[in-house]
Structure 1
Amino acid sequence: MTRVTTDGDNVVDLVDGAELLDQVEAAICSYVVLPDDHTAAAVVLWIAATHAVPAWNTAPRLVIKAPEKRCGKSRLLDLIEALCHRPILTANASPSAVYRSIGEHPSDPPTLLIDEADTIFGPKTGDANEDLRGLLNAGHQRGRPALRWDASSRRLDRIATFAMAALAGIGNMPDTIDDRAVIVSMRRRAPDEVVQPYRTRRDGPALAGLKTDLHRWVGSHLDQLEAAAPELPVEDRAADTWEPLVAIADAAGGDWPTNARAAVLGLTTDDVDVENVSLRVRLLIDCRTAFGDAERLPSETLVARLRADAEAPWDTLGRNGLTPKALAGMLHDFGIQSARDRWEDGSQARGFRREQFEDSWHRYCPVRASSHSPVTSVTASHERESVTGEPPCDTSPVTERPIRHKSAVMGRRDTCDGKAQPTSAAVCIRCRQPLSYDDGTHTHPTCTA
């Protein structure tokens, strides 16, 4: 950091953004063990993004979860409180209190930090906190106020909801919150992993100094951040969620643009967790498995295959398990309808054809993004390159032409042509498949141009 005098009395700190983010990361990692570098980068960038709320169209949530107690969730939330902009930390907030906290300063809202979120949204609470969940969902995007009727003044009130929010708890948050969040999965510290004890009175002043520098640096880049449109390796809501963090990284420079996009790939997955999807999407997933290679199946056969899976809910669904009638009803809203057909044994019965499911399988339950289309290039420096004249990645007839694979390992760019030796953690930044080598050859499917 250097200091220069601009107009006599005003002194301005010229801070290197990458160096400042490095300092924030080092401070956090001295008090808590994070699972990996992707998590560390995401947490630092999320903290920095809280200082630039006026620049964002979306306010990404940060979900800090763990399978058990003593995994560092609350300690990480303490450090976020010390470094983020205008924090409000609570373990039990009513929706009205949160509305009022945001509404008092809608142009400069606080950062909501909710600890023990599993006691608010856990299975034992039922629908008791749906108002708070609705607030957190609406507040993810700018311009989504809550509407309330004030009976005493007989007028309609528009209450601001847009604000950054972090939630920490055991287990999963509601899926509508997870869908709008950067998700950090903590784990218990191993005996050989050593951190410093955090004491607010002793350690707080140093973190307060970092916070001041961070706020000043981010504030000096608000115009740049507001106009930023970073290219991302994800789409749709995931892109909305990660855009502010990657914009911060691009403004900071250094290794942060690469690290940020690696974190996007490392912490975002297109795999479908069948335990955390709606029942009807679970049905689509299981129908795909039940069909196997078949082009058509009678309803009775499809139901029998679904109910044969002991880990699926279909044999115990309702009073008598899944029936052909219930199956038809659950698939109806997807535009999938059974029809009477003649089968190989000469019988006539209602059934389904694979082609009826294809569109819904593609839209609601993809396995990997790479199975549909290549991931968009993430930066100008990561543009597609031909390796004509070099050993191809795959000689399969379906390959149009091989391309260089960009490794998502932080600070590295490896290729699938055998010239680099990435670690086992490397993934292709385009097709998102592992980059692993055996005697200099790749062992994963190639990207195609």
Structure 2
Amino acid sequence: MPSKEALHAVTLWVAATHLQHVSQHAPRLAVVGPAKRCGKSRLLDVITETVHKPVITVNASTAAIFRSVTANPPTLLVDEADTLFGSPKMAEKNEDLRGLLNAGHQRNRPALRIAGPEHQPVSFPTFAMAALAGIGDLPDTIMDRAVVVRMRRRAPGERVATFRSRRDIPHLHLLRDRLAAWAGEVAELAVEREPQMPVEDRAADTWEPLVVVADLAGGPWPGLARSACAAMSAFEAGQDEEGGLRIRILADIRTAFASLGDPEALATTRLLGILKEDAEAPWAEYGTSGLTPRGLQLLLRDYGITSANIRFPDGIQAKGFARNKFLDAWARYCPTQAPAPPGD
């Protein structure tokens, strides 16, 4: 495993599959790596033998997968997911499968399909946990609903224990059966749990079933679960290059205003100069010649922030940005203090 946090996350995810029937959300597990031979398929092999009601989707039609999801949710297992979503043509061909994986993250999101000799609309349940393994990132809508484990190839000198089906699968089945028995004992308690989370919004929805398992298990698990959640969620937030830059520009503009004593407005040229002076920031090398006024406008467009003609105290009128236009975006997307992680 690439880290102790990833190991803890996968362990909790496997246990959570046995409590799907009482969970509000069904997190995906995205096992991705940059190339072949990173251990993705092997990890999926181990997961297959320990989760609740595994359904292996290799060579299965989307219609068959739809019909495999019942009131007692299975655990969907998708290997070589890059062959399904890795190109625009394949992604378009498998759009129904992606729709199933997106909708199935939350309970009570059925899919309507025309079925039967009468060609009547039929409602199919979609709620089921799913593990997907593949080269490269999966579609954004799946990654956003997933606990992401980024595998890496073994380095020279690193040793990994071999996996032998005849020897290891019986032990994995014993573990699976123990997890199932434990889940049966705590299911009613799990229904009532609304744990405090170190993250918010969809990340909290995705990680909540794992944290519930950890809280019910007790011991060191509540702390381990929240540490893994915080660390892995923060890492993934930085992987979205476009979205990450849009958050970064807000934070850096706030720093630029603060460095000058928070004036009411800054000229666009002055703001760009400050942004590109920071050697640790990406703005001096953004695009082909550094961040431009046009590029800045595009980064801020989704926040509804635009430049305007402003008359500055020295009497000069120029294009610039008023500080009060950023206040709402700063509060929503980059608050000055993140919520403190709750105790165990």
Alignment partner, residue 279 of structure 2: none
Structure 2 counterpart of 1:137, from 97, 102, 114: 102
CA, structure 1 residues 329+169, in 2 after alignment: closer, same or farther (shift >3 Å)? closer
Alignment partner, residue 56 of structure 1: 23
Check conservation: 1:64, 1:183, Cα contact below 8 A: yes
CA, structure 1 residues 304+374, in 2 after alignment: closer, same or farther (shift >3 Å)? closer
Check conservation: 2:250, 2:330, Cα contact below 8 A: no
Structure 2 counterpart of 1:97, from 57, 64, 68: 64
Structure 1 counterpart of 2:78, from 114, 120, 123: 114
In structure 2, C-alpha distance between the alignment counterparts of 1:114 and 1:137, rounded to whole Å: 14
Check conservation: 1:287, 1:302, Cα contact below 8 A: no
Q: Offset of 1:214 from its aligned partner?
A: 1.6
Q: Offset of 1:311 from its aligned partner?
A: 4.3
Q: Per-residue displacement from partner, 1:383-427 (whole Å, max 9, x unpaired)?
A: xxxxxxxxxxxxxxxxxxxxxxxxxxxxxxxxxxxxxxxxxxxxx
Alignment partner, residue 223 of structure 2: 258
Query: Quick check: 1:312 aligned with 2:286?
Result: yes
Alignment partner, residue 200 of structure 1: 165
Give the number of equivalent residue pairs: 332
In structure 1, C-alpha distance between the alignment counterparts of 2:343 and 2:122, rounded to whole Å: 42
State the SS of the aligned residue for 1:182: strand
In structure 1, C-alpha distance between the alignment counterparts of 2:296 and 2:4, rounded to whole Å: 45
Query: Quick check: 1:184 aligned with 2:149?
Result: yes
Check conservation: 1:261, 1:378, Cα contact below 8 A: no
In structure 2, C-alpha distance between the alignment counterparts of 1:90 and 1:150, rounded to whole Å: 21
Q: Per-residue displacement from partner, 1:342-377 (whole Å, max 9, x unpaired)?
A: 24675434432232123224423x3xx7x4233242
Q: Offset of 1:122 from its aligned partner?
A: 2.2
In structure 1, C-alpha distance between the alignment counterparts of 2:226 and 2:246, rounded to whole Å: 33
State the SS of the aligned residue for 1:269: helix
Check conservation: 2:83, 2:90, Cα contact below 8 A: no
Query: Quick check: 1:233 aligned with 2:231?
Result: no
In structure 2, C-alpha distance between the alignment counterparts of 1:186 and 1:283, rounded to whole Å: 27
Larger Rg belongs to? 1
State the SS of the aligned residue for 1:374: coil
Q: Offset of 1:183 from its aligned partner?
A: 1.3
Higher relative contact order (CA 8 A, sep 6+): 2
In structure 2, C-alpha distance between the alignment counterparts of 1:108 and 1:84, rounded to whole Å: 13
* RMSD over aligned Cα atoms: 3.2
CA, structure 1 residues 127+305, in 2 after alignment: closer, same or farther (shift >3 Å)? farther
Q: Offset of 1:149 from its aligned partner?
A: 4.4
Structure 2 counterpart of 1:146, from 111, 115, 118: 111
Query: Quick check: 1:342 aligned with 2:311?
Result: yes
5+ residue gaps, structure 1, are 1-33, 380-449
CA, structure 1 residues 267+194, in 2 after alignment: closer, same or farther (shift >3 Å)? same
Alignment partner, residue 436 of structure 1: none
State the SS of the aligned residue for 1:277: helix
Structure 1 counterpart of 2:328, from 333, 351, 359: 359
CA, structure 1 residues 290+45, in 2 after alignment: closer, same or farther (shift >3 Å)? closer
State the SS of the aligned residue for 1:221: helix
Structure 2 counterpart of 1:244, from 187, 191, 209: 209
Q: Per-residue displacement from partner, 1:223-253 (whole Å, max 9, x unpaired)?
A: 1111122222222222221111121122222
In structure 2, C-alpha distance between the alignment counterparts of 1:192 and 1:79, rounded to whole Å: 23
In structure 2, C-alpha distance between the alignment counterparts of 1:330 and 1:260, rounded to whole Å: 34
Check conservation: 1:148, 1:159, Cα contact below 8 A: yes
Higher helix share: 2
Query: Quick check: 1:212 aligned with 2:189?
Result: no
In structure 2, C-alpha distance between the alignment counterparts of 1:271 and 1:213, rounded to whole Å: 32
In structure 2, C-alpha distance between the alignment counterparts of 1:213 and 1:169, rounded to whole Å: 29
In structure 2, C-alpha distance between the alignment counterparts of 1:68 and 1:193, rounded to whole Å: 18
CA, structure 1 residues 250+345, in 2 after alignment: closer, same or farther (shift >3 Å)? closer
Q: Please, what TM-score do these two structures have when normalized by structure 1? A: 0.65
CA, structure 1 residues 309+328, in 2 after alignment: closer, same or farther (shift >3 Å)? closer
Q: Per-residue displacement from partner, 1:44-95 (whole Å, max 9, x unpaired)?
A: 1111111111110001111111222211111000000011111122345543
In structure 1, C-alpha distance between the alignment counterparts of 2:121 and 2:58, rounded to whole Å: 30
Alignment partner, residue 249 of structure 2: 286
Q: Offset of 1:142 from its aligned partner?
A: 0.3
Q: Which moved more, 1:192-201 or 1:162-171?
A: 192-201
Q: Offset of 1:196 from its aligned partner?
A: 3.1
Q: Offset of 1:208 from its aligned partner?
A: 1.5
Structure 2 counterpart of 1:76, from 35, 43, 61: 43
CA, structure 1 residues 306+249, in 2 after alignment: closer, same or farther (shift >3 Å)? closer
CA, structure 1 residues 310+218, in 2 after alignment: closer, same or farther (shift >3 Å)? same
CA, structure 1 residues 363+209, in 2 after alignment: closer, same or farther (shift >3 Å)? same
In structure 2, C-alpha distance between the alignment counterparts of 1:290 and 1:126, rounded to whole Å: 40
Q: Per-residue displacement from partner, 1:269-310 (whole Å, max 9, x unpaired)?
A: 1784375334xx745633654673364344577679989946
Q: Per-residue displacement from partner, 1:119-147 (whole Å, max 9, x unpaired)?
A: 22225547413332222111111011122
Counterpart amino acid of 2:21? P
In structure 1, C-alpha distance between the alignment counterparts of 2:312 and 2:133, rounded to whole Å: 54
Counterpart amino acid of 1:99? F
In structure 1, C-alpha distance between the alignment counterparts of 2:47 and 2:230, rounded to whole Å: 23
Q: Offset of 1:150 from its aligned partner?
A: 5.0
CA, structure 1 residues 258+341, in 2 after alignment: closer, same or farther (shift >3 Å)? closer
Q: Offset of 1:117 from its aligned partner?
A: 1.5
State the SS of the aligned residue for 1:242: helix
